[in-house]
Structure 1
Amino acid sequence: MKIIDAHLHFWPEEEGFTNLALAAGHENNAEHLEKAYEELGIVCGIVMGNRSVDPEDHRYPDFLRYCIGMDSFYLTENDVSESVEALEENLKRPQCVGIKLYPGYSPIYVSDPIYEPVYELAKTYGKPVAVHTGETSMASAYLKYSHPLSLDQAAAEHPQVQFVMCHYGNPWLMDAAAVVSKNPNVAADISGLLEGRVSLDVLFEEKRGYMEALRTWMGYLHEYEDILFGTDWPLANLKEYIEFVKRLVPEKYWEKVFFDNADRIYRLGLKK
């Protein structure tokens, strides 16, 4: 079975990412990631971009694609309106398959008019907008901006834009399911649900209620057409994450979740 990792981060020189990779049993470099992908049947990964929007900051190995990111590091010192030209230069590249927004880390709702130029670009180039939803890694962030319900208005007002709800709005799984089910232009990746090394047997026993909730609210969606596998690497161990998702998703839907949905939604053209 071929796999697409629809959500990872790739910043080899960043110390925090290096420490996360080591804790997950990995090394934060391209050579290690490519080898791990090959061993596990992962044929492509989609980087959720950090740093600037300068195209020169986003050069990735051939086995990776990327969403150009407007994260808190960037928006602290820059305005969205100043970024349109650079965003468009990224979107012109075949390797750039979308845009990533970071509400919560940035105190701006995705329905704010400030993002209108972003959505117009996404519509023009036919590339998705991935949106951080759910919990954040920093206590200084604001959860009200990253609640999955905050994506509903943006999706309803921009029906021609494909949105990807990152992390399935965790832990607001029921709300996330409602937003994806209601809006035909919203899908969800299930990245970032594990961190470091884990014993899956222990995890599924000790967190039984949570695991059942995940199963329930992923299964709520019709035929798993809008669920995308992603790892949030270097946060989690790749092999363990694949097994984690296999335990949650019925086997007859594995090809959709692990490959087909991401290939279709991000228009990767990998299915043959």
Structure 2
Amino acid sequence: MRIIDAHLHFCRDAYFDTIARAAQHENSAEHLSEQYQFRGIAHGIVMGNLPLEQLCPSYPSFLSYCVGLDGHSGFDRDAVRIQADLVEKHFQNPQCVGLKLYPGYHSFYIYDDFLQPFYELAERYGKPVAVHTGLTASDDAHLKYSHPLVMDEAAVKFRGVQFVLCHFGEPWFADAAAVLEKNANVAADLSGILEGKLPDFQAFLAKKRYYIERLKGWLEYLDCYDRFLFGTDWPLANLGDYIAFTKEIIPREHWAEVFYGNAVRIYHLALDEANTAAAPAAGIRV
């Protein structure tokens, strides 16, 4: 079974180094490539955190990216036109497959009118807009901006945009499910639900049974597995654990869609040996 990791982060700094070690990984391109090949992950999509001005980020060739729009990448609501021009230049880079928004961490609602230039670009270039929803990694963020229900107003306002509700709004699965059921232009990835390395996978399933059964229940209620994508939130979680966890919550007959096909279709990926993790290690750009 081929797999696409539709949500990861690729950044060399102390924070990512630390969480990679907690997941029993190493935060490096070489290690990620080895792990992807070992686990059948053909390609990954980085949720970008680099400055917008870095128009040709040196991601490894087996990764695509969504250009990130947040405080760390130069996000400035008073200079939207300049920011939008930079986003358009990223969209013209074949390695860039979408836009990533970080509400919650930065205080804005994704349906605000000032974001319209970015949505117009996303529609014109056919690039999905991935949005952080649900809990945040820092306690100084504001959950009212990252609650999955904010996606509803944006999806109605910008019907021509394909949205990806990251983390399926965890832990607000019922609200996230309502947004998906109502809005055909919204998909969701299943990243960011695990953290670190699980010492005993079966014990984890038993301990978190209440949580997992409700997640599975809302997935079954929606019954739209053509709009869910596998993602790991690398380097947050162990890759092997995340594959096993996703197999636990997704019926086997939908594995091919969720693990691979949906990401190819939604992010318009054109993959060959040159841009998959199966490519020779010597071809990796770091």
TM class by smaller structure: over 0.9
In structure 1, the partner of 2:281 is none
Q: Which structure 2 segments of 5+ residues have no match? A: 273-286
Instruction: Kindly provide the amino acid, as one letter, of the partner of residue 171 in structure 1.
Output: P
2:29 maps to which residue? Answer: 30
Structure 1 equivalent of residue 257 of structure 2: 256
Amino acid aligned to 1:36: Q
**In 1, distance between residues paired with 2:259 and 2:271?**
13
Give me the TM-score of the superposition, normalised by structure 2: 0.91
Alpha-carbon contact 1:55-1:86 (below 8 Å) kept: no
Q: Tell me, in whole angstroms, the C-alpha distance in 2 between the residues paired with 1:178 and 1:265.
A: 20
The alignment's TM-score, normalised by the length of structure 1, stands at 0.96
Q: Check whether the contact 2:229–2:259 (CA below 8 A) recurs between aligned residues.
A: yes
Q: 1:111 to 1:223 in 2, by over 3 A?
A: closer
Alignment length (residue pairs): 270
1:257 partner letter: V
User: Which residue in 2 is equivalent to 1:235?
Assistant: 236
Runs of 4+ in 1 over 3 A off after TM superposition: 74-81
Give runs of aligned pairs for residues 67-216 of structure 1, distance below 5 A: 67-75=66-74, 79-198=79-198, 199-216=200-217
Residue 203 (structure 1) shift = 1.3
Corresponding position of 2:40? 41
Distance 1:77 1:160 in 2: 24
Higher deviation after alignment, 78-87 or 188-197:
78-87
Q: Matches of 2:74 and 2:57 in 1, distance apart?
A: 17
- How many angstroms apart in 2 are the aligned matches of 1:150 and 1:77? 20
Counterpart of 1:10 in structure 2 is 10
Q: Taking every aligned residue pair, what percent have the same amino acid on both sides?
A: 52
| CA deviation after TM superposition for structure 1 residue 77, in Å | 6.0
Shift of 1:58: 1.9
Give the 3-state SS of the residue equivalent to 1:89 in structure 2.
helix
Amino acid across the alignment from 2:65: Y
Aligned mates of 1:134, 1:66 — CA distance in 2: 21
Q: Once the two structures are superposed, what CA deviation does each residue of 1:236-266 show, in whole Å capped at 9, x if it has no partner? A: 0001100011011110110011001111000
Residue 127 and residue 77 in structure 1: after superposition, are their counterparts in 2 closer, same or farther (change >3 A)?
A: closer
Inter-partner Cα distance in structure 2 for 1:141 and 1:57: 29
Determine if contact 2:7/2:232 at 8 Å carries over to the other structure.
yes
